[in-house]
C-alpha cells in the first residue's frame, strides 16, 4: 500500500477545509481570533478536515432518542426491580450480531501468539469455560469438546464467557481495529512479530510509547518545531473504544422503535423486538408466515419441535444470522443467548438512575502520571489485582485444609507469606512493588514440583488486570477532586443503594462495609453482580421481552450468556444526509 495518506492529509490541512471536496485553497480563519488555522506561519494550530465518524467493523448505528424503559410485561416473578420510566439514550453503535466462536478463536490465537511464550496465563484467562455445558443428569459432553473449536459451530455465539472476559475482548478489539486503520492509512506495516509488551495498544500509541511496526514517522505536522507527529484523537482517525452496551442502550436497541413511530408519536409499542404479541411470524403476506421469530423454549421439554417440523430449527444455540433482524438490523435481540451489559445490578436502579444516559457502575479512573505530570511508562509485565489474588489464595488454603501433601502445604504457605507482603505494600500505595511480589509468588509456584501448581496458576490468572504493553491506570482520589461538585470519589457502584449513606447505619461512624448487600448472608446481590438481558435458547418466552433483567456475578459464566459490543457515537446523532 502506498503511503498516500500523508500528502492528502497535509493538503487538506493546508487548505483548511472541513469537507472532502475542495473548491479552493483559501485558509479557514478562526471566528474568535481572526488567525488562520493550519498555517505554519502562526504556529500551526490544526483544524482537522473531519467529515464524520467511521463505522467500525460489525457495527450498526443506533439512532438514539427517548423511550419508556422498564417493565412492559406482567412481573410473574414479583421481583419489582424494573419500574417503568422515561429516559433518553444518545445515538451509539452496536454489533449486528452476537460475538461468535470464530471471533473468539481469532482473539485466542492472537493472545497465544503474542503472550504464549512468557505469559501463558494471559491466554488461559481468556479461555471460555466449556464445562458450563455439563449437567448432573444430561449428556452434554459433545458440546464441552466441540462447541468452541469445531468449524460446525464457528458462526454460533460464544458462551461460557464471563463479564470480565467480555470486557477484555472489547479492549483487545479496539486495539486491533485502530491498528488496521493506521495500516490502511499507510502509517504502519503489518507487523506480526509483536510479543509481550511490544504490541500495538491504542493508549500506548497515543502516549507516544509504541514505535514498532511504523511505516512512516507520522503525519505531517504544521508545528514549525516538528516535521511529523503521531495521529491523535483530534484528527478523528482512530475510533472510540469498543465496550459492552449499557442496560438502557441494550433495551432501547432491542425494541427498535424507529420502525414504530410517526414524527414524535410511537404508534405501536412493542412487547418483543418484533411487532405483534406473538412469538411466531403473524404476517400472512410473508413467506415466513408461522415461523418462530426467535430461538427459545416453547414449552416443557420442547427445545426444537417435532422431527420433520422443527419449530425454531435449533436444539441449543443457532447461527447468529438466524431469524429476522429487528428494525435497526440487529439479529437475535431475543432468544439464542442472553447478553452481558455494562451495568451493576441493583433491584431499585430505576429509582436512582439519571434520565439521560442512565447507568450504574461508574468507577472513575485516570492514567498514572509521574511527579512532573507526564504519563508513566506502560506495563512491562502483567499486572494483577493484589486483593483478588490474596483472596483467592486464602480461599484455596481454607478449602484444601487437610487435603494436601506436606510439600503442597509448604507451597501454599510460602505463597501466602509473599502475598501478605504484597498486600502491605499495596495498602501503603506502593503498587509497583506489590505487583512485583505477586509475580514473585507466581514464579515460586511455577518452579515448585507439586501437583496443585497448575491449579493455583489458573486460579490466580483470573485476577490479572493489565497485560504487558498496556498503560497504567488508577482510581481517582478525593484529594484531587476537592473543589469538584459533580463527583468526588472514584467508585459510585453502590451510590444511593448500598453505600453507608443509604443504609440504616448512616449515623454510626464505627460501621464499615456494605451491610445492605452482604453477599451470601442476606442477599445474592453484590457490587460484582452484573446485569444480563434478553432470553436464551433455554428460556421461556417471558424472557424474550427486552425489559427483562437478571444478574450474575461478573466472574461467573454459563451456557446461555454471550455478548455483543457497542461503541460511542461521536458528534451528530444521525450523521450526514439526515433531515433536521
User: Given this model, what pLDDT does residue 8 score?
Assistant: 46
User: Given this model, what pLDDT does residue 577 score?
Assistant: 55
Q: Write the pLDDT tens digit of every residue in 445-454.
A: 999 989 999 9
User: Given this model, what pLDDT does residue 418 score?
Assistant: 97
d(CA 46, CA 38): 5
Element (H, E) at 418: helix 406-427
User: Given this model, what pLDDT does residue 576 score?
Assistant: 64
Q: DSSP letter for 327, please.
A: T
What the block records as the C-alpha cell of 168 is 477484555
10-residue block means of pLDDT along the chain (580 residues)? 45 44 63 93 90 94 95 87 95 98 98 95 96 97 97 98 98 98 96 95 96 91 92 94 98 94 84 90 83 93 91 94 96 97 95 96 96 94 95 94 93 96 93 94 94 93 94 95 95 92 84 74 87 97 95 97 98 70
What the block records as the C-alpha cell of 536 is 436464551
**Separation of first and last alpha carbons in the chain:** 39
d(CA 215, CA 191): 10
For 453-505, what is the HEC assignment?
Answer: HHHHHHHHHCCEEECCCCCCEEECCHHHHCCCCCCCCCECCCCCCCCHHHCCC
User: Given this model, what pLDDT does residue 580 score?
Assistant: 43
User: Given this model, what pLDDT does residue 417 score?
Assistant: 96
Separation in Å, CA 188 to CA 184, 210, 391: 8, 11, 43
Q: Are 146 and 152 in contact (CB under 8 A)?
A: yes
- What pTM was estimated for this model as a whole? 0.93
Helices (H), 43-201: 101-115, 120-126, 141-146, 163-184
Cα torsion angle, 94, 96, 101, 107, sign: negative
d(CA 419, CA 442): 10
Separation in Å, CA 493 to CA 79, 362, 393: 21, 6, 26
User: Given this model, what pLDDT does residue 2 score?
Assistant: 40
Q: Are 200 and 175 in contact (CB under 8 A)?
A: yes
Scored b (16 or more CB within 10 A) or e, 48-80 reads: bbeeebeebebbbbbbbbebebbbbbeeeeeee
> Where do we find the cell 472476559?
165
Radius of gyration of the chain (CA): 26
Amino acid at each position: 500500500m502506498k503511503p498516500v495518506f500523508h500528502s492528502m492529509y497535509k493538503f487538506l490541512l493546508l487548505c483548511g477545509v472541513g469537507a472532502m471536496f475542495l473548491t479552493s485553497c483559501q485558509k479557514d480563519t478562526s471566528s474568535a481570533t481572526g488567525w488562520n488555522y493550519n498555517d505554519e506561519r502562526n504556529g500551526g494550530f490544526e483544524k482537522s478536515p473531519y467529515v464524520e465518524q467511521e463505522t467500525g467493523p460489525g457495527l450498526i448505528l443506533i439512532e438514539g432518542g427517548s423511550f419508556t424503559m422498564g417493565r412492559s410485561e406482567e412481573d410473574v416473578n414479583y421481583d419489582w426491580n424494573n419500574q417503568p420510566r422515561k429516559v433518553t439514550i444518545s445515538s451509539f453503535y452496536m454489533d449486528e450480531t452476537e460475538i461468535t466462536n470464530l471471533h473468539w478463536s481469532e482473539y485466542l490465537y492472537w493472545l497465544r501468539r503474542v503472550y504464549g511464550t512468557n505469559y501463558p496465563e494471559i491466554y488461559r484467562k481468556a479461555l471460555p469455560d466449556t464445562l458450563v455445558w455439563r449437567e448432573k443428569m444430561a449428556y452434554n459432553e459433545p458440546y464441552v469438546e466441540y462447541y468452541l473449536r469445531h468449524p460446525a459451530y464457528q458462526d454460533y455465539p460464544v458462551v461460557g464467557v464471563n463479564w470480565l472476559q467480555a470486557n477484555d475482548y472489547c479492549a483487545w478489539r479496539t486495539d486491533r481495529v485502530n491498528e488496521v486503520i493506521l495500516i490502511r492509512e499507510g502509517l504502519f506495516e503489518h507487523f506480526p512479530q509483536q510479543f509481550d509488551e511490544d504490541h500495538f495498544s491504542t493508549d500506548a500509541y497515543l502516549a507516544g510509547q509504541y514505535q514498532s511496526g511504523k511505516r512512516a514517522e507520522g503525519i505531517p505536522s504544521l508545528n514549525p518545531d516538528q516535521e511529523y507527529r503521531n495521529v491523535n484523537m483530534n484528527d478523528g482517525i482512530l475510533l472510540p473504544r469498543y465496550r459492552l452496551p449499557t442496560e438502557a442502550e441494550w433495551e432501547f436497541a432491542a425494541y427498535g422503535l424507529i420502525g414504530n413511530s410517526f414524527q414524535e408519536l410511537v404508534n405501536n409499542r412493542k412487547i418483543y423486538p418484533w411487532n405483534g404479541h406473538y412469538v411466531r411470524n403473524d404476517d400472512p403476506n410473508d413467506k415466513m408466515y408461522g415461523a418462530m421469530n426467535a430461538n427459545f423454549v416453547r414449552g416443557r421439554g420442547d427445545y426444537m419441535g417435532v422431527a420433520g417440523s422443527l419449530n425454531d430449527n435449533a436444539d441449543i444455540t443457532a447461527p447468529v444470522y438466524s431469524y429476522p433482524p429487528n428494525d435497526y438490523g440487529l439479529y437475535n435481540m431475543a432468544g439464542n443467548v442472553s447478553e452481558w451489559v455494562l451495568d451493576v445490578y441493583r433491584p431499585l436502579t430505576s429509582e436512582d438512575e439519571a434520565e439521560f444516559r442512565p447507568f450504574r457502575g461508574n468507577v472513575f479512573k485516570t492514567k498514572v502520571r509521574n511527579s512532573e505530570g507526564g504519563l508513566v511508562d506502560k506495563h512491562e509485565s502483567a499486572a494483577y489485582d493484589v486483593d483478588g489474588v490474596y483472596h483467592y489464595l486464602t480461599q484455596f488454603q481454607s478449602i484444601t485444609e487437610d487435603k494436601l501433601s506436606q510439600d503442597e502445604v509448604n507451597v501454599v504457605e510460602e505463597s501466602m507469606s509473599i502475598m501478605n507482603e504484597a498486600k502491605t505494600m499495596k495498602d501503603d500505595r506502593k503498587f509497583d512493588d506489590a505487583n512485583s511480589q505477586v509475580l514473585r509468588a507466581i514464579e515460586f509456584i511455577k518452579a515448585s514440583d507439586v501437583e496443585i501448581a497448575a491449579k493455583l496458576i489458573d486460579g490466580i490468572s483470573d485476577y490479572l488486570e493489565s497485560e504487558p504493553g498496556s498503560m497504567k491506570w488508577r482510581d481517582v482520589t478525593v484529594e484531587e477532586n476537592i473543589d469538584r461538585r459533580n463527583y468526588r470519589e472514584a467508585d459510585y457502584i453502590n451510590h444511593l443503594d448500598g453505600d453507608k449513606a443509604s443504609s440504616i447505619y448512616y449515623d454510626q461512624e464505627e460501621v464499615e462495609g456494605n451491610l445492605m448487600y452482604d453477599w451470601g448472608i442476606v442477599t445474592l446481590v453484590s457490587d460484582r453482580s452484573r446485569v444480563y438481558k434478553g432470553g436464551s435458547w433455554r428460556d421461556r418466552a417471558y424472557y424474550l421481552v427486552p425489559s427483562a433483567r437478571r444478574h450474575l456475578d461478573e466472574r461467573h459464566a454459563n451456557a446461555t450468556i454471550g455478548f455483543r459490543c457497542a461503541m460511542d457515537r461521536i458528534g451528530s446523532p444521525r450523521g450526514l444526509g439526515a433531515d433536521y
